[in-house]
Amino acid sequence: MADHDGSYKYLFSHARMVEDLLKGFVREAWVEDLDFSTLEKVSGNYITDDLRGRADDIVWRIRWGRDWLYVYILLEFQSTVDPWMAVRIMTYVGLLYQDLIQAKQLTPGRKLPPILPIVLYNGNHHWTAATNISHLIQDIPGGLSLYRPGMQYLLLAERDYREEEFHGLQNLVAALFRLENSRSPADLLEVVTHLLNWLSSPKQASLRRAFTVWFGRVLFPTRFAAENQPIIEELEEVKTMLAERVKEWNKESLERGLRQGMQQGMQQGMQKGARQLLLRQLKKKFGVLSSDIVSQLDRASEEQILQWSEHILTAETLGDIFGN
């Protein structure tokens, strides 16, 4: 669990990942006015008034439009469902605003900047927690409902995205989601090949390293037995290892198919031989058989043929065998 969350923090400590997250998954018009060259990671550690420390996962800020109006992006990573996530998000947002006030980092109109809270969920089960704090508060008729908070967070659940949504999309976060949801070595190899092409620049060395760490600490432990887990140092090694695994997987699939085909053929051959043997015995004992009897033999199962073969030893008529 700690490796999973820690690896996600490492990945999303890179501006390119945050940019692809916003461009690819926050499908709202205001995103088009963001200046991604101004993406800046800020502290996510806060001290409350009673001196208790709290920390969210990652906080970024980015310039919006022509004004230095920062949109703060609060990222929270979850691998399990937290039913009180909306309370945590409201607390984090309040602490961030408190910190901005104390640091006098307000907008030109002396207002607080907007905040986009994002919960990135990579668990296996459906997210069932409320995404708005108001849904967790008892509804009381009358004027008291006016004072109920209504903060919403944006939930991005990896398991809810379909594979076809990402085809042809050059987006690192989409690639991460595909890797999490991929089941075959061939699917993994395809995504890793794209990653190597997208992160080929020397400037992307740190991000390549982040993906390499994620493979070693998160993905491979869930896909390979402990004794077979590969040790990798470079992303290129992931591609080489997966390419070899695809060859082994294809060979195993072919061998498995051949074995199944041989077993099926042997079974069919034995059944056909038993049917022909019974047919010869019937003809020898009772003479020419009617077309109905022959058709009955052709349609019979292996078990039925064996039963009839046992009855022929004591039967005096065809009716003793077939019951007609």
Q: Among the ranges 4-18, 49-63, 219-233, which has the highest mean pLDDT value?
A: 4-18
Which residue bears the tokens 């199944």?
260
CA dist., res. 39 & res. 58, Å (int): 13
Q: Mean pLDDT over residues 107-118, rounded?
A: 85
Q: Mean pLDDT over residues 252-278, rounded?
A: 58
pLDDT of residue 261: 46
| pLDDT surpasses 70 at 52 | no
Quote the percentage of the chain above a pLDDT of 90.
10
pLDDT of residue 69: 65
Residue type, 80: T
Q: Are 21 and 12 in contact (CB under 8 A)?
A: yes
Q: Are 69 and 107 in contact (CB under 8 A)?
A: yes
Q: Is the whole-model pTM more than 0.85?
A: no
pLDDT of residue 258: 44
pLDDT of residue 255: 46
Residue type, 268: Q
Task: List, for residues 153-190, the tens digit of each pLDDT value.
Answer: 999 988 888 877 787 788 888 888 888 887 677 777 78
Environment class of residue 218 by beta-carbon count within 10 Å: exposed (0-12), middle (13-18) or buried (19+)? buried
pLDDT of residue 57: 62
CA dist., res. 92 & res. 114, Å (int): 13
Task: List, for residues 269-317, the tens digit of each pLDDT value.
Answer: 566 777 777 777 777 777 887 888 878 878 777 778 777 777 766 777 8
DSSP 17-77: HHHHHHHHH---GGGGGEEEEEEEEE--EEE-TTS-EEE-SEEEEEEETTBBEEEEEEEEE
| pLDDT surpasses 50 at 250 | no
| pLDDT surpasses 60 at 144 | yes
Task: List, for residues 123-132, the tens digit of each pLDDT value.
Answer: 888 999 999 9
